Structure 1
Amino acid sequence: MSWISADQALSLLGTKPQTLYANVSRGRIAARSDPDDPRRSLYRQDDVERLAARQKGRRPATTVAAESIAWGEPVLETAISTVANGHFYIRGKDVAALAKTATLEDMAAFLWNAPGPVDFAAVTSIGSSAGLIAAYRQIAELAATQMPPIGRARSVLIKDATLVVSLVASAITGARSGPVHERLATQWQRPDAANSLRCALVLLSEHELNASTFAARVTASTGAPLAAAVLSGLAALSGPLHGTASLSMGALIRDAKRHGVEAAVSSLLRQGRPLPCFGHRLYPDHDIRAPALLATFEVPKLFAELAKVGEAMSGEKPNIDFALSALVAAYDLPEDAPLQIFALARSVGWLAHALEQIETGALIRPRARYVGVPTPPPSLPL
């Protein structure tokens, strides 16, 4: 990830400084402080080049729309959350502040605009095994039988949403009742981790229009049951570029233990490879969720050194996936604990977006820009 000075950015854009600053404030160009001179700012080069390309001439709407899908301007309106000024806000409240005391149950009531408290106690029997496989199975079965949302009152849909998360929570924790973070801590036999797990669940409950949330909204826009929207989110979450990103820390940690932190970090950077779990494109300075979670437990020495050396060498700071990896190491949690936490927490956010999408009554149906074998021209009338 390359960063350039204001002069370089202005040269590429051919605009006045005020226009550059306006693009930063609107989230079109990421900015960060210059490590060598905190009074100055640096700007993400690929963002600047993307805008510069746009300004060379008005392009077809299809091209603009296609670029918007990949880290472009928002493609859907939402009143649920946004990243602004280096912070993440859920319904106008800073998530880092919410994570100090809120529970996942609190976040569900808040995100869904529920009329009262939400309880994720199990309402059906739980299988003998607990974990992600059980969660996928439970939600898939519910998706095949749950009623579609069209024509049903919001109060009834919130009951449906509560049932969906209750099934996920019961399948992952193996417990029928109690706050979800305490059920997780009990399942993993780590009672001391309960508060950190609570914080992680809140921080991960929602994150704007990420890939899994978009998948959930697309499904909800068809009129499919809420469980189907969550099933779509779970499928998207399973990818290495999303919910399992923290696993990419494994090789770096092994190399750091074997050769030392500086050697491990420099080896990656010399190969032109970015440090896994450092930096986040939505945050110009740092992913604010990471320090919020790291503050809830004693960070293992190796991770503390990786954070310090990695930032010094790359200029990027640890993100939430780094914090989840450190959490696993600190409490000796299962290797797939980050994905289980992610799936349970984000189910709440997916449902908030599904409920919002249902209210719009609109189908999300983009068009494709065909670039394949040319089609034959239309035949002329005789």
Structure 2
Amino acid sequence: MSWLTAEEALQALKTKPQTLYANVSRGRIRAKPDPADPRRSLYQAADVQRLAERHAGRRKAETVAAETIRWGDPVLSSAISTIIEGRLFYRGRDAADFADTATLEQTAALLWNGAEALSSGTTGENTSPSLQTAFLALAGRVTTDLPSLGRSQAALRREAHGVLSTVSDALAPGLPDRPLHLRLAESWQRPQAADCLRRALVLLADHELNASTFTARVTASAGAALSATVLSGLATLTGPLHGAAWQGVDALIEATIAVGAEQALRRTLAQGNSVAAFGHPLYPDGDIRASALLGYFPLPSKFAELREAGEAMIGEKVNVDFALAAMAAAFDLPREAPIIIFSLARSVGWLAHAMEQVESGELIRPRARYAGPAPETVTRR
């Protein structure tokens, strides 16, 4: 990435400093402290150029639309969550503060606009958390659950309870009416991890219009069952650029064990690869979810080594993918624990967005900008 000084960014944007800072706070321009002078900031050149071109009116409407889905401007309205000035908010409540005491069930009640706390499951079977079981259970519901269109929000909330119970029975099996974080800790036989699991579940419940949530909203906009929206979100979450990014962190830790953090990072950067553990475009000053989680468990030594070296070399703070992988290592959780935690938590957000999308009554159907071979001449008769 190339970076600009404030003077260079202002010259490119032809705007006032206040406008530059506002664009940073809204996540439109990424910024980081200047290594030569921590009192100053540097600004991501590609973000500045994108906004400069927009303001100059040199881009066609279809180009604007295409770039909007790549960390661009908002593409639809939502009252569920947002990121403002480096803080994550759930319906106006600071998510990091909310995570100090709330459970995932209470988070669901907040995001679903329901006042009651939720029952978290229906089974007492003592099995291990399984992503495969969640996929199969959701797929089994899709063919029998009712479509979501034409139903009241009260009816959809009742069904959302059932869908969350289906997911919970697969990802956090345990006794009915036990809080999900306790069920998860007990299923992994790690009671000492319970409070950190609770905090992580709350922090990961929603994150505005990320890839899996957008997928879930598209599915819901077609009128599919709520179980189908969660299934589609879950499938998207498994991608290595999304919920499975923790595997990239694990790979860095393995390399750190073998050759040391600095050499591991140098190799990764020399190969032209991005480093999954550091930075987030919506958090110029550091991923608030990571900082809200990392202070509540002892950081394993290799993670501490990687964090120190990476933040110095890359100039970005560690993100929530790093925090999840570190938490799993600190409590000796199963290797797939990060994706289990992420999937269980984010199911709450997918259901909230699905219900909001159904209420809007709109089908999400963007147009494609055709870039293929010239169409054959059509002879009209």
TM-score tier after normalising by the smaller chain length? over 0.9
The 1-side partners of 2:44 and 2:323 are apart by 24
Q: Contact 1:120/1:163 (CA < 8 Å) preserved in 2? A: no
**Bigger mean CA deviation after superposition, 48-57 or 202-211:** 48-57
Question: How does 1:113-262 map onto structure 2 within 5 Å?
Answer: 113-122=113-122, 130-177=129-176, 178-262=178-262
Greater displacement, 306-315 / 190-199: 306-315
| Contact 1:170–1:176 under 8 Å retained in 2 | no
Alignment gaps of 5+ in structure 1: none
Query: After alignment, is 25-34 or 355-364 more displaced?
Result: 25-34
Q: Which AA in structure 2 matches 1:228?
A: A
Counterpart residue identity of residue 227, structure 2: A
Q: Which runs of 4+ in 1 moved over 4 A?
A: 125-130, 377-381
Contact 2:24 2:30 in 1 (8 A): yes
**Which deviates more from structure 2 when the two are superposed, residues 147-156 or residues 215-224?**
147-156
Give the secondary structure class of the aligned counterpart of 1:40.
strand
Inter-partner Cα distance in structure 2 for 1:143 and 1:127: 25
Q: CA deviation at 1:343?
A: 0.6
Letter in 2 for 1:304: A
Letter in 2 for 1:337: A
Give deviations 1:167-192, integer Å, cap 9, x for gaps: 11111222242110111111111110
Q: Is the 8 A contact 1:226 1:351 kept in 2?
A: yes
Pair 14,130 (structure 1): closer, same or farther in 2 beyond 3 Å: closer
Aligned residues of 1:126 and 1:171 also touching (Cα < 8 A): no
CA distance in structure 2 between the aligned counterparts of 1:171 and 1:117, rounded to whole angstroms: 20
Give the stretch that moved more between structures: 263-272 or 321-330. Answer: 263-272
After the TM superposition, which residues 63-142 of structure 1 pair with which residues of structure 2 at under 5 Å, given as runs?
Answer: 63-122=63-122, 130-142=129-141
Could you tell which deviates more after superposition, 256-265 or 268-277? 268-277
Match of 1:244, SS state, is helix
**What letter is aligned with 1:65?**
A
Deviations 1:223-259 (A, max 9, x none): 1111111011011001111111001022221221122
Query: Is the partner of 2:243 in helix, strand or coil?
Result: coil
1:345 match = 345
Paired with 1:26 and 1:320, the residues of 2 have a C-alpha distance of 20
Give the distance between the partners of 1:261 and 1:26, measured in 2 at CA.
33
CA contact (8 A) 1:127 1:134 kept: no
| One-letter code aligned to 1:156 | A
What residue in structure 2 maps to residue 5 of structure 1? 5
TM-score normalised to the size of structure 1? 0.94
Deviations 1:154-212 (A, max 9, x none): 22211110111111111122224211011111111111010111011001000000000
Q: Deviations over 1:286-330 (max 9, x none)?
A: 001001111121111111121112111111111000001101111
Amino acid of the structure 2 residue aligned with 1:334: P
Q: Which residue identity does 2:131 align to in structure 1? A: L
Q: Which amino acid aligns with 1:214?
A: F
Matched, 1:311 2:315: no
Q: Is the 8 A contact 1:82 1:208 kept in 2?
A: yes
Deviation at 1:149, TM superposition (A): 2.2
Q: Is the 8 A contact 1:220 1:358 kept in 2?
A: yes
Instruction: Describe the SS at the equivalent of 2:8.
Output: helix
Secondary structure, aligned partner of 1:285: coil
- Note closer, same or farther for the CA distance 1:304–1:140 as it changes in structure 2 (3 Å cut): same
Query: In 2, distance between residues paired with 1:205 and 1:309?
Result: 30
Alpha carbons 2:219, 2:228 under 8 Å: kept: yes
Q: Is residue 61 from structure 1 mapped to residue 61 from structure 2 by the alignment?
A: yes
- Return closer, same or farther for 1:21/1:297 CA change in 2, 3 Å cut-off: closer
Tell me the equivalent position of 1:276.
276
Matches of 1:299 and 1:96, distance apart in 2 = 19
Does the CA contact (< 8 Å) of 2:126 and 2:174 recur in 1?
no
Q: Distance in 2 between matches of 1:108 and 1:368?
A: 35
Residue identity opposite 1:132 in structure 2: L
Amino acid corresponding to residue 231 of structure 1 in structure 2: L
- Aligned counterparts of 1:59 and 1:315: Cα–Cα separation in 2: 31
Match of 2:45 in 1: 45
Q: In structure 2, what is the Cα distance between the partners aligned to 1:254 and 1:26?
A: 36
| TM-score normalised according to structure 2 size | 0.94
Q: Give me the whole-angstrom Cα distance separating, in 2, the residues matched to 1:170 and 1:380.
A: 58
Q: Unpaired segments of 5 or more residues in structure 2?
A: none
Question: Which shows bigger deviation, 231-240 or 13-22?
Answer: 13-22
Instruction: Report the Cα offset of residue 24 of structure 1.
Output: 2.6
CA displacement at 1:266 relative to structure 2: 3.2
Q: Is the 2:32–2:315 Cα contact (8 Å) retained in structure 1?
A: no
1:245 and 1:159, CA in 2 relative to 1: closer, same or farther beyond 3 A?
same
Question: SS in structure 1 opposite 2:318?
Answer: coil
